[in-house]
Structure 1
Amino acid sequence: MSDDLIYSDATKLAELIRKKEVSPVEVVQAHLDRIDAVDPKVNAIVTLAADALKSAKLAEKAVLAGDELGPLHGVPFTAKDSIDTAGVLTQRGSPIFKGRLPDRDATSVARLKKAGGILLAKTNLPEFSYWIESDNLLSGRSNNPWDLERTPGGSSGGESAAIAAGMSPLGLGTDLAISVRGPAAQTGITSMKATHGRVPMTGIWPRAPRRFWHVGPMARSVRDVALAFSQLAGSDGEDAFATSTVQFDAGVGRAPYRQLRVGWMVGPGFGPVDSEVAATVKVAAEALKDLGLSVEEVRIPALERDFALEVFNRLHVMEMKPAFAEATAGRKPDELYNMAKTMLGLPDTTMKDYIEAEQAAERLRDGYAEYFRKYDALITHVLPIPAHKHGVEEFVIDGKKVDATYLQGATVPLNVTGLPGVAMRFGTSKEGLPINVQIVGSWLAESTILHVASLLEKVSPVQGLRPNL
């Protein structure tokens, strides 16, 4: 029964609990046992919520009493350790914040709790949530459940590893350029970066540059991501970017009122892409065509004119360095890991370059707006390669040598423009590693891309695959 529980999705667990077929205590205990069994190898969990079982017992009483239950009642969830949790350590992957104990939940955590979710644990991340690997001086390096010699990604790598390994059915990550979708791709789970501002960033650090940061759900099924997003979205009166009042319906399986139009591409505009990854995107596009959607290969000229990764780099360094400088002021060098030192050492963007980058970002938004006048969704890769080995800083992809920042080539355009994107597995590499695709939609069109993702999930050739731990 425990094996069934740890690999049931959150939606199924909530259903079993409502029907009294399983107790919240059993569910939480099964996941705690799984953490004990496999986390010493994976190192995804940094702090357990001490009151998780107590909360599960209270949830069990509510079920037995016939109380009204939330959509996630009794279901455990985890949260990246940059997201504040009341009474549970939130140390941001840095000795600078060692022992930090928030007195208030982040809005996203509070909303999952209000839906009945039970905070189980906090998960690992790179220092200050800033890198494509989850490694730091405080809690060490997280490993990929599919191959412990490889990374589960960053910056939400501990979260992705925990979910892929069955330690958690549902989690919260944050995304500046890649950090929810990239880790999902490296571990073969599902995640979504919604339209910027749909989910408040209140209670999450760092916030600079605020217009690029997102918080989003991570899970093993599309319906779980949709369910979590339906609880997370909406203004909280504190995050000024979170002003959307557009309602979201968690029902992702409904047929559209007309034939959906979908484009697919792997470049140009994203940088080099591995042939196995490109082939997976094409297979996903063909699967949608077989399902009756209108699908064709496309190009987006704006992405070819302005390389989004370069635009992002010119903008975010100017805005993020002051936040890093403030957090590290007066600290000893041995309290800082690689990325804080790297960020602080980068040259400032000139005002001329900054203004030009702002104009380029506007052109990118206009380019996507033009695309979405004709199409409902876009299918791309998430990462140009499957999960890589730890510590690699240069890659040869499709015959071209690139640095590690190029792994963000297909994800960062959505942060620069604020567009929503879903990452989900649809393939496997020759080495047995997950390959995900990314479904992109227009602003506030999360229901569309979740619907497309749900269609792909039903015909996925990788359904039910689990890492062997």
Structure 2
Amino acid sequence: MNDNGNNEWSRREMLAGVSGVALAVGAGGFGLSGTANAQPTPGLPQSVTAAGEAFRSGSLSCRELTQTYLNCIAEFEPKLNAFISILNDEALATAEERDAELAAGQDRGPLHGIPIVVKDLFEVAGTFTTVGSEAFADRMSDSDATIIRKLKDAGCVIIGKTNMNAFAAGVSGTNSTFGDVHNPWDLERSPGGSSSGTGAAIAAGLCLGGPGTDTGGSIRVPASWLGIAGIRPTSGLVSLNGVYPRSHSLDTAGPLARNIRDLAIFLDVMAGFDPNDPNSSLAQPRLSYTKNLDKGVKGLRIGLVENYSLTDIDAPVEESVRAAADTFASLGAEIVNIKVPLLQGQLNYAALFSEILLYEFNQILGDQFRSTPDAERLFGPIVTSNIADGSAVTREQYEARIAERPGVLAEIKEVFESVDAILTPSLPTTAPLLNAAAQDFGRGRQFTIPFSYTGLPSVAVPCGFSPEGMPIGLQLVGDHFQEGLLLQMAAAFEAATDFGMQRPPIFCKG
């Protein structure tokens, strides 16, 4: 029981069991590591739309689906370690309410009764919001983040708060307090981060989606390494009110899901101006993101950037992205080679990471870190390193990088006068081992940081598998507020391939 009397599997109980779980997984004690073999789609509804149809036909209740997911979480959580808290009683009570509403003719829309998970940096009233850190282990939320309120109002059922890199610092999925999250395709490999638990739960079939955040890749990285879909929206499209910040000028929030239509359904609910978020944008399209998903790509122009899109990437990734470009061409898109000097070596990705992201992170958390006894243990090694690196950046360096931003943005936006989207890998590699060196996780900045810096939207969708059976993702980048067009392109690719239909060995089959 937690402090509110609810049957929440609390972060205290998780802390008590972390060491044993980590040791068992690391030693291969569950017998599930090694090369993953894709599994056929099982009988549970595999999309928001399918679940909604089942609810409305009476062939499945929200409570039944929620209970099935909770049963699978109980079975797989010792292997995946995807959750910080599991909201058993709250989820079942909400599910019963949603069933009663449908029976009474009250339908909240496509997300009515849909079970989701929430990254543990979103405020959810009545839950501990730890931001993945022992330093915040007792931090109770008394209100909902705007995005959570919207999802609740749309009918979603929150079944748990998910594990993450502490303070969203990093893309590894490792956590020194709550234990590492494991990739359901291969337990010894990273799920990506920092939205690691959310991504792993979706990939393992423990829910139908959930919100993540993306500062330097924290939606796109897990989407790519877990074989699911994710979108980093245009900066300002989705409210960050009630979301613990990593970098004020680079943070975004967006959905992760198993397919593109589900992404669009979630984004319909999540997007919108919020007066409580000073960075929320008024310049937002209000057309449903699902409206044009079936229009295809005929006549659209997709750019491959010379000396960038296919440079410094592993061979299986290159092969998959080249094949994806051929698929788009077969569907009627024009694939064109383009030159974008800023992406071809002019931008210093490491400097953007340190002189903006880490500088702002130090401004947000540095004073609290330095005033906390035993801070290195409580905040963890990645946060400790980030604070040290961020504190070494001068205000002059930071302001110089920020001052360059409008010019960089103008030059990048010129690209969209000749193409509708840029095609790249989501990442240059498949998922590395959880104990890989920091530089193995840092290689992907070339495909993530530039579009964080420019605030451009990008969607990640599965495009292949490595010889070892690990997922590979592609990234489509568009002009500001062109999420609908990007989702339209990604939906066409998804419909022409079966990569997103494959399931890992660890997957909830009901």
- The TM-score normalised by the length of structure 1 is 0.93
Unaligned stretches of 5+ in structure 1?
A: 395-401
**Cα contact 1:318–1:349 (8 A) shared by 2:** yes
Distance 1:335 1:39 in 2: 24
**Cα contact 1:152–1:160 (8 A) shared by 2:** yes
Matched to 2:167, the amino acid is: F
1:135 offset after TM fit, Å? 2.4
1:270 offset after TM fit, Å? 8.7
Matched to 1:65, the amino acid is: A
Distance 1:125 1:266 in 2: 35
Deviations 1:383-439 (A, max 9, x none): 110000012125xxxxxxx55322222011111000000011010001100000001
Matched residues, number: 459
Matched to 1:138, the amino acid is: T
Q: Which piece of structure 1 moves more, 354-363 or 411-420?
A: 354-363
Tell me whether 1:273 sits opposite 2:313 in the alignment: yes
**Cα contact 1:303–1:364 (8 A) shared by 2:** no
Deviations 1:325-369 (A, max 9, x none): 233222313212111210222252234433442244333312221
Distance 2:161 2:443 in 1: 28
Structure 1 segment 47-86 matched on structure 2, within 5 A: 47-49=85-87, 50-86=89-125
Which of 14, 17, 23 pairs up with 2:55?
A: 17
Secondary structure of the equivalent of 1:410?
helix
Deviations 1:253-293 (A, max 9, x none): 24279721111247438972112112211111111110011
Q: Which piece of structure 1 moves more, 296-305 or 57-66?
A: 296-305
2:380 maps to which residue? 337
| Cα distance, 1:350–1:67 mapped onto 2, change above 3 Å | closer
Question: Taking every aligned residue pair, what percent have the same amino acid on both sides?
Answer: 31
Structure 1 segment 244-393 matched on structure 2, within 5 A: 244=282, 245-249=284-288, 250-255=290-295, 259-265=299-305, 267-268=307-308, 272-304=312-344, 305-328=346-369, 329-333=371-375, 334-346=377-389, 347-393=391-437
Deviations 1:230-258 (A, max 9, x none): 01000121002112342131224242797
Deviations 1:117-162 (A, max 9, x none): 1111111101111111222233111000000000101100111100
Matched to 2:251, the amino acid is: W
Matched to 1:282, the amino acid is: R
Unaligned stretches of 5+ in structure 2?
A: 1-40
**Cα contact 2:129–2:140 (8 A) shared by 1:** yes
| Cα distance, 1:312–1:138 mapped onto 2, change above 3 Å | closer
Distance 1:107 1:51 in 2: 19
1:397 maps to which residue? none
Which of 481, 485, 489 pairs up with 1:452?
A: 489
Tell me whether 1:171 sits opposite 2:171 in the alignment: no
Larger RCO (CA under 8 A, 6+ residues apart)? 2
Distance 2:403 2:190 in 1: 35
1:107 maps to which residue? 146
Matched to 2:221, the amino acid is: G
Secondary structure of the equivalent of 2:85?
strand
2:73 maps to which residue? 35
Matched to 2:63, the amino acid is: V
Which of 215, 221, 233 pairs up with 2:259?
A: 221
Distance 2:185 2:341 in 1: 37
Distance 1:270 1:205 in 2: 35
Which of 154, 168, 173 pairs up with 2:193?
A: 154
- The TM-score normalised by the length of structure 2 is 0.86
**Cα contact 2:119–2:212 (8 A) shared by 1:** yes
**Cα contact 2:235–2:252 (8 A) shared by 1:** yes
**Cα contact 2:182–2:188 (8 A) shared by 1:** yes
Structure 1 segment 86-165 matched on structure 2, within 5 A: 86-165=125-204
2:249 maps to which residue? 211
1:419 maps to which residue? 456
**Cα contact 1:423–1:436 (8 A) shared by 2:** yes
Distance 1:126 1:407 in 2: 17
Distance 1:267 1:4 in 2: 44
**Cα contact 2:259–2:500 (8 A) shared by 1:** no
1:55 offset after TM fit, Å? 0.6
Matched to 1:279, the amino acid is: E
2:38 maps to which residue? none
| Cα distance, 1:125–1:266 mapped onto 2, change above 3 Å | farther
Secondary structure of the equivalent of 2:113?
coil
Matched to 1:103, the amino acid is: D
